[in-house]
Structure formats: C-alpha cells, structure tokens
Structure 1
C-alpha cells in the first residue's frame, strides 16, 4: 500500500499522523487531488461546503 501511495506522488504521508493506510483511503475517496483548482475546491465533494 505504501508503494501505491508513493507512486501517486501524494504528500499526504508528510502530514503527522497520516500513514500509508490513511493516505490510501483519502486518495481512494477523493481521487486525483490535482483535479481541484485550489485546496478549497475539495469542500464541495467532501460535503463540507459552507455558505
């Protein structure tokens, strides 16, 4: 699993407390994060959009 996360070029595992399993789950849920124009672009799909 760690190899797949590394292959995705994600930096999620640089965050304290996020290991390969959590990073893989996040990547599996959101897909390629570069599809969002900015960090705030993830709020809609995650259900966290505040109005």
Structure 2
C-alpha cells in the first residue's frame, strides 16, 4: 500500500462518513485529484450546485 492508496481511503472516508468534501483547490493537481474528481469526491470551487 502506497501513500496514494492511503490518501484515497482518507478522502473516501471523509466523504462517506462525514459528508465532507474538499474543494478542488485544496488538492494539488495530479493522480489523487483526478481520481477524486472521477469519483465525485470534490466540490467545485465555483458557485455552481454540487
């Protein structure tokens, strides 16, 4: 298990258990951000409905 796997689990737990979503700007661009976007675990930074 690498750091990316751990980060993915933490993100999924935050969304699933706490209902908390990070903003897109909270994450650095990269594989984790792409994965989170694909799995609908981020809220967008703009004022659009999530």
Fold match by TM threshold 0.5? no
Tell me which protein shows more strand as a share of its residues.
Answer: 2
Tell me which protein shows more helix as a share of its residues.
Answer: 1
Q: TM-score, normalised by structure 2?
A: 0.32
**Larger relative contact order (CA 8 Å, sep ≥ 6):** 2
Larger radius of gyration: 1
